Amino acid sequence: MLKRVHFPTSALPYLLVAPQIIITLIFFIWPASQAVYQSFLIEDAFGLSSEFVWFENFQILFEDSQYLETFWRTILFSAAVAVLSMGSALILAAFADRVVRGATTYRTLLIWPYAVAPVLAGALWVFMFNPTLGIFPYILEFIGIDWNHYLNGGQAMTLVIFAAAWKQIAYNFLFYLAAMQSIPRSLIEAAAIDGAGPVRRFWDHIFPLISPTTFFLLVINAVYAFFDTFGIIHAVTQGGPANSTTILVYKVFNDGFVGLDLGGSAAQSVILMILVIAMTVVQFRYVERKVEY
Amino acid sequence: MTHFKTVLFGALAAGMTAGVASAQTEINWWHAMGGTNGERVDKIAADFNASQSDYKIVPSYKGNYTETMTAAVAAFRAKEHPHLVQVFEVGTATMMAAKGAIYPVEQMMKDAGESFDKGDYLPAVISYYQTPEGELLSMPFNSSTPVLWYNADALKAAGVEAPKTWDDVKTVSKALVDNGMDCGVSFGWQSWVMLENYSSWHNMEMGTKENGFAGFDTEFTFSQNDKLAARLDDVAAMSEGNLFKYGGRRGDSLPMFTNGECGMWMNSSAYYGSIKSQAEFEFGQTMLPLDTAAADAPQNSIIGGATLWALAGHESEEYKGLAQFMTYLSSAEVQAWWHQETGYVPITTAAWELSKDQGFYDSNPGTDTAIKQLSLNTPTANSRGIRFGNFVQVRDVINEEMEALWAGDKTAQEALDAAAERGNALLRKFERSAK
């Protein structure tokens, strides 16, 4: 017979985890379940009459060519933002890694944009690129570019991509710099002694060694572009012109809060919820295992 | 010590206010008037509160029109809604459909025993907010209509007169551009100005069922209006040589007019205050241009802006105060003041007369353009307004399709067809949800 050790049961552990559980239930599980429920309804704005329709809201979405276009647009937008912001951050970090004097100042300055709220970042870009009053359209005119992002969807998309990427550079920069500084100096020095120049050392040693960070940042940036760029888009283009900058999360807002189509909007958020769950799973299953901190 | 006194007095003052407030019945008014207009709203409420001691109107700014309406809807679902909310004209169908949520203003005035005569109000203003049977659902507050604004200095320099027809608009634009201006004409709120008002101005229908007034099973017919398509194609063709330049949705193109880039601008008469403070040139306003191919004479334009909706579910005593406030709000003095300060049209004939007597139009020529446009003729089924469900989204659809037209991706007919098709889908969705 095994002797089992019995501890007197105590409420203490339950009490200690309770706040966490309660917060999760109230702020995550409850709203999420509401969204799922709402996505099965077709309802008027005031909630006076509602009809339970199972998956019809989803069916309407996937038959809507506009929604599918939004899907592709979001993927394009996220990819562009991730590549642009990670690429710039990588270059900046590679240089910052070599800076000897004034490194702290340089780093601090680079981190600043991260402290700017998305809506403010958007407002800054709106001022700089206002077709009538902005400084950039004025400069662009000299090289023959007629800038009007109110009318030109491509230009509007470019603008929000730049604004969103700019905002994220600081974050990526921090991670890249930390990753580069954790590479043992002896490795780099050995390569230098073998005659590898800075570019060669970067591509052959530094870049492969920081690849876990790159993968981690890729997921983070994708999530950022998918969900946190709402403020920028709202401030810069409000999804226009002709929907050319409407990404999934903006469409949720627009259909739900502007159009008061709660069922359709809820169905879209459920789809987004599934997407973010998928991304998180990828991050935990794949990335966490490979990143060497 | 002084600091302590300040705190003490502060506390005392707060206590006293609270004491007074509890003796009064508070009535909450959610509105969407920011900036200077917000201060004017506060003044109206403060003046009303000072005029009697039973009720206290508490105005709160809830963001732009869309945000205010969404806030009210959310509050209603949480049973925390205000007594009075300002809703823009395109939200009318949604509000109307919410039968249990609204308290028709005419009914409310009657129940509260407040005298109320619809005949005092301008027909073109209240016709937008009546049921087919003629019951007034909400109280007009800030109403405007699109007019054609022009840069008088630039027109003079180019040696041309303000346009009366669309042919004139083209001639004048050409003259302005030839005289060195960047562009001739631009406009904002394009669905409202170029589609909704174009239709009413030329007495043409936008949709079946009297533009939606007679039932939610309405369908858009504006895509079958070949005069409209021809006009829009013509405007798009005017981009050639910058006779026309698109400057964005809503009022985004205002700077193009006020900094002297474009000589003419079609948009709400309520931009009067902004133009007055921003433009460094003489400006004027005139009636919307007539499309001579579409009609021999203009009918009347339709309004935009917002009305005040009473929401159901409060105490009858509170509605009594609200009814009194409605009477105060539509009194000639308040309306004339509001009209002269903001450029919104006065909603009663008395306020118009009062502004005339005060000599406002003599010292500010052109400021009566909007009201003249609205009262040009007795509104017809085509020109009394529009009532389409989901119209906020429909306007977005129209914006998108028109932007495709201005960008040269579509012809006017293609853009209108697409807008009508997508718009009809939204109408069907609304019809279903509003059962």
Residue A254, domain extent: 51-119+164-290
Q: Given this model, what pLDDT does residue B300 score?
A: 93
Measured between CA atoms, how close is B76 to chain A, in angstroms?
7
Examine the pLDDT at A290 and tell me if it is beyond 70: no
Domain assignment present for residue A225? The answer is: yes
Q: Given this model, what pLDDT does residue B222 score?
A: 95
CB-CB under 8 Å, B390 with A261: yes
Q: First and final CA of chain B: distance in angstroms? A: 66
Examine the pLDDT at B428 and tell me if it is beyond 60: yes
CB-CB under 8 Å, B435 with A49: yes
Q: Given this model, what pLDDT does residue B42 score?
A: 95
Q: Give B344-399 pLDDT, tens digit per residue.
A: 998 899 999 999 999 999 988 888 899 899 989 888 889 888 989 888 889 888 98
Share the mean pLDDT of chain B.
Answer: 89
Domain assignment present for residue A147? The answer is: no
CB-CB under 8 Å, B406 with A240: no
Is A5 part of the contact surface with chain B (CB cutoff 8 Å)?
Answer: no
A-B Cβ pairs (cutoff 8 Å, strict): 92
CA distance A228 to A174: 19
Domain assignment present for residue A172? The answer is: yes
Is A146 part of the contact surface with chain B (CB cutoff 8 Å)?
Answer: no
- Which positions in chain B touch A152 (Cβ < 8 Å)? 407
- Which positions in chain B touch A151 (Cβ < 8 Å)? 246, 248, 403, 406-407
3-state secondary structure labels for all residues of A163-215: HHHHHHHHHHHHHHHHHHHCCCHHHHHHHHHCCCCHHHHHHHHHHHHCHHHHH
Is A134 part of the contact surface with chain B (CB cutoff 8 Å)?
Answer: no
CB-CB under 8 Å, A150 with B249: yes
**C-beta separation of B136 from B340 below 8 A:** no
Q: Give B202-251 pLDDT, tens digit per residue.
A: 999 999 998 988 888 999 999 999 999 999 999 999 998 899 999 888 88
- Judging by beta carbons within 10 Å of its beta carbon (0-12, 13-18, 19+), is residue A132 exposed, middle or buried? buried
Examine the pLDDT at B38 and tell me if it is beyond 60: yes
Q: Which residue has the tokens 């407030």?
A: B21
Chain centroid to CA B184: 25
Domain edges within chain B: 2-144+304-363, 146-301+389-433
Please work out, in degrees rounded to the nearest 5, the angle formed at the alpha carbon of residue A95 by the alpha carbons of A93 and A96.
60
Is A132 part of the contact surface with chain B (CB cutoff 8 Å)?
Answer: yes
Q: Give A85-126 pLDDT, tens digit per residue.
A: 999 999 999 888 877 677 788 888 888 888 888 788 888 888
Least confident among B1-10, B24-33, B241-250, B421-430: B1-10
Domain assignment present for residue A151? The answer is: no
- Judging by beta carbons within 10 Å of its beta carbon (0-12, 13-18, 19+), is residue B209 exposed, middle or buried? middle
Q: Given this model, what pLDDT does residue A2 score?
A: 62
Among B94, B393, B432, beta carbon nearest to A45? B94
- Which positions in chain A touch B98 (Cβ < 8 Å)? 44-46, 48
Its CATH architecture, for the domain B2-144+304-363, is 3-Layer(aba) Sandwich (3.40)
Q: Given this model, what pLDDT does residue A126 score?
A: 87
Confidence band for B76, pLDDT divided at 50, 70 and 90: very high
Q: Give A225-277 pLDDT, tens digit per residue.
A: 988 889 899 888 888 777 889 999 999 998 888 888 888 899 999 999 998 88
CA distance B370 to B260: 23
Domain assignment present for residue A36? The answer is: no
The fold of the B146-301+389-433 domain, in CATH, is D-Maltodextrin-Binding Protein; domain 2 (3.40.190)
Among A43, A151, A257, beta carbon nearest to B406? A151
Question: Cα–Cα distances in Å, from B95 out to A48, B76, B83, B332, B404?
Answer: 12, 12, 14, 27, 31
Copy the structure tokens of residue B353.
Answer: 């007369």
Question: What CATH code is carried by the domain that includes residue A221?
Answer: 1.10.3720.10
Domain assignment present for residue A44? The answer is: no
Query: What chain A residue is nearest to B99 in terms of C-alpha separation?
Result: A48
Measured between CA atoms, how close is B75 to chain A, in angstroms?
9
Query: What chain A residue is nearest to B247 in terms of C-alpha separation?
Result: A150
Exposure string (b/e) for A141-178, b if CB count within 10 Å is 16 or more? eeeeeebbbbbbbebbbbbbbbbbbbbbbbbbbbbbbe
β strands within A20-158, DSSP E? 41-43, 50-52
Among B66, B98, B101, beta carbon nearest to A258? B66
- Which positions in chain B touch A242 (Cβ < 8 Å)? 399-401, 403-404, 407
Query: How many structural domains is chain A composed of?
Result: 1
**Helix, strand, coil percent values for chain B (each to nearest 5):** 55, 15, 30
Measured between CA atoms, how close is A77 to chain B, in angstroms?
20
Q: Give A31-65 pLDDT, tens digit per residue.
A: 999 999 999 988 888 878 788 888 988 998 888 88
Domain assignment present for residue A282? The answer is: yes
Domain assignment present for residue A17? The answer is: no
Q: Given this model, what pLDDT does residue A66 score?
A: 83
Please work out, in degrees rounded to the nearest 5, the angle formed at the alpha carbon of residue A206 by the alpha carbons of A201 and A208.
115
Measured between CA atoms, how close is B63 to chain A, in angstroms?
13
Bond prior to A212 in cis (omega within 30° of 0): no
Q: Do domains B2-144+304-363 and B146-301+389-433 have the same CATH topology?
A: yes
- Which positions in chain A touch B399 (Cβ < 8 Å)? 240, 242
Q: Give A142-168 pLDDT, tens digit per residue.
A: 888 888 888 788 899 999 999 999 989
Q: Given this model, what pLDDT does residue A50 score?
A: 82
- Which positions in chain A touch B66 (Cβ < 8 Å)? 257-258
Is A15 part of the contact surface with chain B (CB cutoff 8 Å)?
Answer: no
